Amino acid sequence: MFDTAEIYGPHTNEELVGEALAPVREAVVIATKFWRAGSRGAIRSSVEGSLRRLRTERIDLLYAHRLDPRYSVEDVAGTVSELVDEGKVGAFGLSEVGATTIRRAHAVLPLAAVQNEYSLWARESEGTVFDTLEELGIGFVPWSPLGQGFLTGTVRPGDRFSDGDVRAWFPRFTKAAREANAPLVDAIARVAERVDATSAQVALAWVLARRPWIVPIPGTRRLERLEENLAAADLRLDSATVAELTAVVDRIRVHGPRGTGNERYS
């Protein structure tokens, strides 16, 4: 499964994904997201643009990237339902939403997946969101399961971010916040050493162990990191190790908001 969105670039990431996957289109699942879920016409226009850039006749999994409060999620789901009927969309998903919104959308068009941020340091979806997904049979696709790279141990308190790196303005990535959150990274590193894996693999394996219907989507720019992340699927943490990591996060108060502007799901 390859996950992209019209806002990435904007548009250029869909173009790259479309070009790269065209020769193997039938062997992959393509997921993309339309940005602000608004009017019927706006959603349709976004989808037509994505289909063109992705060089495909059908988007396998289409998410509403963010919901526009001026429009009801029921209307958004209704528009996507039309696109499913027309064969342009295979399945419907929502991003950055809570249990109430999930139920409202699902009543109009069954959801295949919800994509919220989730990792060892972003656990807001635990509780009502997870309970709702389990009840309704909806998959969960955590974005940023490596905490924008912080959980891999490659981002240290004294590091400076390059121009264009969005972490430079995330509250969770100030020098003070990185120093305060370092004990979490250290705990992951200790487990990684014990199980002969990397910190990134341990962080991903923890996410995978939380529920059987979780499919994380780590991003990377380098082939060796892609291979490292893929190997996490073969790392099985025992229940004691999963509980150990969870207990560490329970003890450590993570400093700094996530930075998305939507820390509470509704």
Residues 65/32, Cβ–Cβ less than 8 Å: no
Are 92 and 60 in contact, with CB atoms under 8 Å apart? no
Are residues 75 and 38 in contact, defined by beta-carbon separation less than 8 angstroms?
A: no
What is the predicted pLDDT for the residue at 166?
84
Residue 110 pLDDT: 98
Largest CA distance in the chain: 54
pLDDT at 263: 52
pLDDT in tens, 147-182: 999 999 999 888 889 888 888 888 999 999 999 999
The conformation of residue 172, written as its DSSP 8-state character, comes to G
**Which parts of the chain are beta strand (E)?**
2-3, 30-37, 59-67, 89-95, 113-115, 139-140
**pTM of the complete model:** 0.94
Tokens, residue 137:
């049979």
Low-confidence residues of the chain: pLDDT under 70: 259-264
Taking only Cα atoms into account, the Rg of the chain, rounded to an integer number of angstroms, comes to 19
Rounded Cα distance, 228 and 220, in Å: 10
The whole-number pLDDT of residue 261 equals 53
Q: Which residues pair with 113 in a beta bridge?
A: 93, 139
Q: What pLDDT score was predicted for residue 227?
A: 97
Burial class (CB in 10 A: 0-12, 13-18, 19+), 99: buried
pLDDT of residue 168: 87
Q: Residue 217 to residues 7, 189, 235, 244: CA-CA distances in angstroms?
A: 17, 21, 16, 24
The pLDDT score that the predictor gives to residue 156 is: 82
CA distance 99 to 16: 34
Q: How far apart are CA 163 and CA 233, in angstroms?
A: 33
Which entry of 8, 63, 118, 265 is annotated as an active-site residue? 8
Return the residue matching tokens 């894996």. Answer: 197
8 flagged as catalytic:
yes
For residue 253 the two structure tokens come to 């108060």
